[in-house]
Amino acid sequence: MSMTTSENNICSKNTLLEETILQVEKAVQRLGLDSGYVKILKEPKRVLSVSIPIRMDNGSIEVFRGFRVQHNLARGPAKGGIRYHPEVDMDEVTALAMLMTWKCAVVNIPYGGAKGGVICNPKELSLGELERLTRRFASEISIIIGPEKDIPAPDVYTNPQVMAWIMDTFSMHQGFSVPAVVTGKPIEIGGSQGRNEATGRGVVFTIEEAASRLEINLDESTAAIQGYGNVGSVAAADLSNLGCRIVAVSDSRGGIYSEKGLDLEKLNAYKASTGSVVGYPEVRPVSNQDLLTLDCDVLVPAALENQITGENAPKIKARLVAEGANGPITHTADQILFERGITVIPDILANAGGVVVSYFEWVQDLQNFYWTKDEVNRQLRSRMVESFREVYQFKEQDGVSMREAAYMLALGRVARAMEFRGLYP
Ligand code: NAD
């Protein structure tokens, strides 16, 4: 089966967890909150580890391990993707669940954070094995998921088909259809218009906001995109529609550069036929690392984590960096970019468009009333623009980076919810 979402995004687990906790500590301190919140928020609220025995096509039994972690439920049910990967583990899933808490809070959608994972190599499983694995995993975690409890979505190597199987399995247990139990479903069973493009589109909405404040005229600007996948290709297309010249893009095999700008329609046709952007005619090849330090106004790392490091941060030429990927900039690099006056739109804001439209999908499912694509995009824009403004206000007031500002906004929201609810019992 072809698995189309977020390939290769296996983060350096400890780094991600440690860096997220570091940001939390800083934000709690800046906001003058009770340090007890750090103690609570460092720990996931609920962790479920399950064994998934399935019958393989050759008749043998294999047992897989799966997790679902709910980090915090103060602001609403848990929300977050499910990742299938041979190297996924509990630490990684916990770090990603925590990130989801902040992401949902930054864009002010009424969810807490969650994440799931199954240790497996989906590329080595047949379609039937993958379906049995998914249904058994869905069944095992059904005790903690549900429209009011925890709503999974696709992540690395899971896709709308996997969501459809989860929805069907959960619905079979209930005896009726429960579309709102997952998002990122096919449209035919309650998926939302505009969900596929939502993350890349949201990235560009935040770029537009930042550009206007930095007095970058997108119409006359250039952009480089690392990772021409779901997020990167939509971001490139939307930027190009705004008049921005896309001078470089890349994928796992390498990158291409054209000073006069790439023709994205032709490039998409080339990529569809060859599977890569590499080898596209009349351009200069560029490595994934060199792409990051090209002369351009806007840089969108939309592939992997830890791409901009202490080593290459001093050489970044873009004035604006929007994190399409989760965690593409290391902590050290982040500080260097801040000191150099380069604006970074942090992942928990820049790439939150996906979870925002997932929220819209859930709302539509609960109401059995479905929106047009225009309505989805209008609401997405309004949510992203509003969130950007709120983060920017913190940044201006406190003289901090956009990342610190985003954490302050998120932490404030989560802490206030926890304060009102109080400590049980
Ligand atoms: P995708 O699999 O569609 O695309 C990833 C792209 O990155 C592919 O073109 C791949 O070839 C390329 N790539 C892989 N390794 C690379 C490398 N070493 N150097 C350069 N490029 C490389 O995935 P996606 O959904 O576009 O996700 C991209 C990033 O955005 C991930 O970090 C993901 O976690 C994050 N993200 C995605 C969403 C979403 O809704 N899809 C939401 C939030 C965050």
The one-letter amino acid at 313:
A
Say yes or no: do domains 1-43+196-351+400-425 and 44-177 share a fold: yes
- Nearest CA owner, ligand 1 atom 15: 252
Round to whole Å and give the CA distance between 392 and 45.
30
- 112-119 and 254-257 strand pairing: unpaired
Tokens coding 71: 């980090």
Query: Would the CB of 252 count as within 6 Å of ligand 1?
Result: yes
Please report the pLDDT score of residue 273 as a whole number. Answer: 97
Query: Would the CB of 289 count as within 6 Å of ligand 1?
Result: no
Tokens coding 305: 């984590």
The pTM for the full model equals: 0.95
Measured between alpha carbons, how far is residue 199 from residues 242, 326, 349 in Å?
17, 12, 10
Catalytic member of 13, 115, 185, 271 = 115
Round to whole Å and give the CA distance between 112 and 79.
6
What tens digit of pLDDT does each residue of 224-255 get? 999 999 999 999 999 999 999 999 999 999 99
Q: Write out the H or E segment, with its range, that includes residue 208.
A: helix 198-214
Q: Output the CA 76–ligand 1 centroid distance in Å.
A: 28
- Nearest CA owner, ligand 1 atom 23: 6
In ligand 1, the atom with minimum distance to the C-alpha of 304 is 32
Average pLDDT over residues 308-321: 98
Average pLDDT over residues 346-372: 98
Measured between alpha carbons, how far is residue 399 from residues 5, 211, 216, 256, 425 in Å?
37, 18, 21, 37, 39
Measured between alpha carbons, how far is residue 45 from residues 48, 54, 108, 153, 404 in Å?
10, 29, 20, 19, 24
Please report the pLDDT score of residue 161 as a whole number. Answer: 98
CATH code, 1-43+196-351+400-425: 3.40.50.720
Say which residue, 11 or 86, is predicted with more confidence.
Answer: 86
For the segment(s) 44-177, the CATH number from 3.40.50.620, 3.40.50.10860, 3.90.320.10, 3.90.1010.10 is 3.40.50.10860
Round to whole Å and give the CA distance between 157 and 347.
20
What tens digit of pLDDT does each residue of 54-80 get? 999 999 999 999 999 999 999 999 999
Round to whole Å and give the CA distance between 251 and 281.
16
Round to whole Å and give the CA distance between 336 and 316.
10
Listed by start position, the domains of the chain span: 1-43+196-351+400-425, 44-177
Round to whole Å and give the CA distance between 306 and 347.
12
Average pLDDT over residues 279-307: 96
Query: Would the CB of 226 count as within 6 Å of ligand 1?
Result: yes
